[in-house]
């Protein structure tokens, strides 16, 4: 269908690069990695030791979506499990849109990736016999989710990876850095323009291989489980560089995020439902038993819609998570992080009803990439949440996200090792400190903050768990006005750049959602409530300034990723 949302080739100003790389002070590396979650860190550590690496992260090293992953890491390591069962569960959750070969690579690589993490020092919960304790989450047919510290798995994985990166002399870590844009020369990605510390003048970092591992986008919505830095920077940079993207309409809303008035959202892992917790409506009824044979353990999109419908029926802002029928001591021991956070808010995990509601959680779409990380732009790779490899389909299976970043991050590192030779010489990064003074910043902080809040409200109102054509048209109009207002502020600086990234990504999400006139997985259209059989296996691609449906083969679209 034609684009009806205003995101098209005619809107060139929307994708203008914020700062030209010409004339900026430059540093040279063999590899530049943008993003330091599990994908970026695993890739960095698995690169050949002779390659010099620049690792850019917006916050402190260790602050990423990975850190907040409570549930765990899925891998078929149990005696009753197999990669074939893991494959089957992933395909069911993906609602007819997974690339089978890509999923097979993911699940087959899982056990070895887990062994590597353990060798690095990651400590997963185990019984007295040393056998890992495995949890079960939604849509898994077996207990196959490794966890650490009960409900602090992401933090433990991040800790182990960060510790090794700190020990690696070939890696220059730029904590607090912000990558503004990709540098494209002669049809290749040549590096990035970046602000290496907040408020510093931009510089140019060049390398034969640049990796986008900055994929979080939850801040496009008013309520999210993501940290503040998840502002869709990776996909926005790719869109400005005209790198093909896919499946941006598929945004997974976590069903159970703590919903208390005037309180910061806090994720309540679905591993709690895996241990037997129930969801109840305002009158105490278990509503999920009537909606799906797996009840509370149905796929995430089903549970999120079920909660949304129950909230509407009750006229309430939440439903209730109930653990009161479970062993109280066992639950407090199993979920110490959640227990402590709830206690700070005056709630007891085991004896109180916990108010929960859906919130933006995981960005399924992204830059079209192979399992080895290659994108359509030579010299640019994408891994983790920034990439669309076909493994998640229309709805990610719980705890496959850490696994994807780990397995495909490792594979991309091996690919870079085959393709990139150490530079004969490299510019000393110290020259970057000699950059001229930054231009005067007209930050317009109040205006930028207000426009960001308006954008988030627009997305939450029109482009959340349930969408329709009227709401998507309204969102497109509101976002176009917000984008115009952003340009008129003439603001520069991190807050402005981030908000422009958010506006670009939000408009692309709306366009993709309007393009797919069916309901599938995490994308539910009230005006097209059933899947369209003709769209099974058909991904929504933004290629050459146009939306189209196409296929991905092992993360590849033949027309998109044709390379020598």
pTM (global) more than 0.85: yes
State residue 333 phi and psi, 5-degree precision.
-75, -40
Strands 366-368 and 387-388 come out as parallel
Strands 145-146 and 31-34 come out as unpaired
What mean pLDDT comes out for the span 355-381? 96
Residue 428 pLDDT > 50: yes
Of the candidates 320, 255, 254, 312, the one whose C-alpha atom is nearest the C-alpha of residue 281 is: 320
Of the candidates 31, 39, 337, the one whose C-alpha atom is nearest the C-alpha of residue 161 is: 39
Residue 212 pLDDT > 50: yes
Task: Give residues with Cβ within 8 angstroms of 119, minimum separation 6.
Answer: none
Identify the structural domains of the chain with CATH numbers, from first to last: 28-250+364-422 (3.50.50.60), 254-359 (3.90.700.10), 440-532 (1.20.58.100)
Are the beta carbons of 250 and 217 closer than 8 angstroms?
no
What mean pLDDT comes out for the span 4-21? 57
Share of the chain above pLDDT 70, in %: 89
Give the number of residues written for the chain: 564
Q: Which pLDDT does position 3 carry in this prediction?
A: 45
Q: What is the DSSP string of 182-240?
A: EEEETTEEEEEEEESSTTPPPEEEE-SEEEE-----GGGSSSBSS-TT-S-HHHHHHHH
Query: CA 401, CA 549: separation in Å to the nearest integer?
Result: 24
What is the C-alpha R_g of the chain? 22
What mean pLDDT comes out for the span 326-350? 95
Query: CA 262, CA 359: separation in Å to the nearest integer?
Result: 15
Are the beta carbons of 13 and 487 closer than 8 angstroms?
yes
Task: Give residues with Cβ within 8 angstroms of 397, minimum separation 6.
Answer: 74, 89, 90, 93, 94, 139, 140, 299
Query: What is the per-residue pLDDT across 272-302, written as a single tens digit (0 to 9) for each?
Result: 998 999 999 999 999 999 999 999 998 888 9
Query: Which strand ranges, in their side-by-side order, compose the sheet holding 539-543?
Result: 387-388, 366-368, 245-246, 539-543, 546-550
Q: In the chain, count H helices and then E strands.
A: 13, 22
> Which segment of 348-352, 393-397, 477-481, 541-545 scores lowest on mean pLDDT?
541-545
Are the beta carbons of 499 and 18 closer than 8 angstroms?
no
Query: What is the per-residue pLDDT across 182-202, written as a single tens digit (0 to 9) for each?
Result: 999 999 999 999 999 988 899
pLDDT interval class at 498 (50, 70, 90): very high
Cα angle 49, 55, 60 (rounded to 5 degrees) comes to: 130
pLDDT interval class at 368 (50, 70, 90): very high
Residue 1 pLDDT > 50: no
Paired strand residues for 531? none
Q: Point out the catalytic residue in the list 67, 104, 144, 300.
A: 300
Burial letters 30-40, b for 16+ CB under 10 A, else e = bbbbbbbbbbb
What mean pLDDT comes out for the span 512-528? 97
Q: Which residue has the higher pLDDT, 381 or 444?
A: 381
Q: Which residue has the higher pLDDT, 515 or 264?
A: 515
Q: Which pLDDT does position 151 carry in this prediction?
A: 75
Query: What is the per-residue pLDDT across 19-39, written as a single tens digit (0 to 9) for each?
Result: 788 889 999 999 999 999 999
CA 323 to chain centre: 29
Task: Output the average pLDDT for the chain.
Answer: 89
Q: Is 144 one of the annotated active-site residues of the chain?
A: no
Of the candidates 132, 194, 164, the one whose C-alpha atom is nearest the C-alpha of residue 62 is: 164
Q: Which pLDDT does position 231 carry in this prediction?
A: 97
Query: What is the per-residue pLDDT across 170-179, written as a single tens digit (0 to 9) for each?
Result: 999 999 999 9
Other Cβ atoms closer than 10 A to 504: 24
Residue 150 pLDDT > 80: no
Are the beta carbons of 228 and 70 closer than 8 angstroms?
no
Crossing angle for the helix pair 445-462 and 469-489, to the nearest 10 degrees: 170
Residue 564 pLDDT > 50: no
> DSSP 3-state assignment of 411?
helix
Query: CA 41, CA 507: separation in Å to the nearest integer?
Result: 30
- C-alpha separations of 142 from 138, 180, 183, 311 in Å: 10, 43, 45, 30
Q: Which pLDDT does position 347 carry in this prediction?
A: 96
DSSP 276: T
- C-alpha separations of 283 from 97, 279, 470 in Å: 37, 11, 32
The sign of the CA dihedral 109, 111, 116, 118 is positive
Are the beta carbons of 164 and 73 closer than 8 angstroms?
no
- C-alpha separations of 21 from 13, 98, 180, 188, 350 in Å: 18, 38, 10, 15, 55
Share of the chain above pLDDT 90, in %: 76
CA 13 to chain centre: 26
């Amino acid at each position: 269908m034609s684009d009806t949302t205003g995101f098209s080739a005619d809107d060139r100003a929307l994708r203008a690069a914020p700062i030209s790389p010409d004339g900026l002070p430059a540093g040279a590396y063999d590899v530049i990695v943008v993003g330091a979650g599990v994908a970026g860190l695993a890739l960095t550590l698995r690169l050949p030791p002779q390659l010099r690496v620049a690792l850019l992260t917006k916050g402190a090293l260790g602050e990423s979506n990975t850190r907040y992953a409570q549930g765990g890491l899925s891998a078929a390591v149990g005696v009753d499990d197999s990669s074939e069962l893991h494959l089957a569960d992933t395909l069911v959750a993906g609602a007819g849109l997974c690339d089978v070969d890509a999923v097979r690579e993911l699940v087959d690589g899982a056990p070895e990736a887990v062994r590597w993490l353990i060798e690095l020092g990651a400590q997963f919960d185990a019984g007295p016999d040393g056998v890992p304790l495995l949890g079960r989450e939604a849509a898994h047919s077996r207990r196959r989710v490794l966890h650490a510290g009960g409900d602090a798995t992401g933090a433990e994985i991040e800790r182990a990876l960060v510790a090794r990166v700190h020990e690696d002399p070939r890696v220059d870590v730029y904590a607090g850095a912000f990558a503004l844009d990709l540098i494209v020369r002669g049809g290749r990605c040549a590096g990035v323009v970046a602000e290496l510390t907040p408020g510093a003048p931009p510089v140019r970092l060049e390398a034969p291989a640049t990796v986008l591992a900055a994929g979080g986008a939850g801040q496009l919505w008013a309520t999210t489980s993501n940290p503040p830095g998840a502002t869709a920077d990776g996909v926005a940079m790719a869109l400005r560089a005209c790198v093909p993207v896919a499946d941006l309409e598929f945004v997974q809303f976590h069903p159970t995020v703590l919903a208390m008035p005037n309180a910061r959202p806090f994720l309540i892992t679905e591993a709690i439902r895996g241990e037997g917790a129930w969801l109840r409506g305002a009158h105490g009824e278990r509503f999920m038993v009537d909606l799906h044979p797996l009840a509370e353990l149905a796929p995430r999109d089903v549970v999120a819609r079920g909660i949304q419908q129950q909230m509407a029926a009750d006229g309430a802002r939440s439903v209730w998570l109930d653990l009161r029928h479970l062993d109280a001591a066992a639950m407090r021991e199993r979920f110490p992080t959640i227990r402590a956070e709830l206690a700070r808010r005056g709630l007891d995990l085991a004896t109180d009803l916990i108010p929960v509601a859906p919130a933006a959680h995981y960005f399924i779409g992204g830059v079209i990439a192979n399992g080895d990380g290659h994108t359509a732009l030579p010299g640019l790779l994408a891994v983790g949440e920034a990439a669309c490899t076909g493994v998640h389909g229309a709805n990610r299976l719980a705890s496959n996200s850490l696994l994807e970043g780990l397995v495909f991050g490792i594979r991309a590192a091996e690919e870079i090792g085959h393709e990139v030779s150490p530079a004969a010489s490299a510019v000393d990064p110290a020259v970057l400190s000699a950059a001229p003074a930054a231009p005067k910043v007209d930050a317009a902080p109040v205006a930028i903050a207000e426009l960001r809040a308006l954008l988030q409200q627009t997305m939450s109102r029109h482009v959340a768990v349930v969408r329709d054509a009227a709401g998507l048209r309204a969102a497109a109009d509101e976002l176009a006005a917000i984008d115009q207002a952003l340009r008129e502020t003439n603001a520069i600086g991190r807050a402005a750049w981030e908000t422009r990234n958010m506006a670009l990504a939000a408009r692309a999400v709306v366009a993709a959602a309007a393009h797919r006139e069916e309901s599938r997985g995490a994308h539910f259209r009230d005006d097209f409530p059933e899947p369209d059989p003709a769209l099974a296996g058909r991904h929504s691609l933004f290629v050459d300034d146009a939306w189209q449906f196409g296929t991905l083969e092992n993360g590849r679209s033949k027309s998109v990723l044709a390379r020598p």
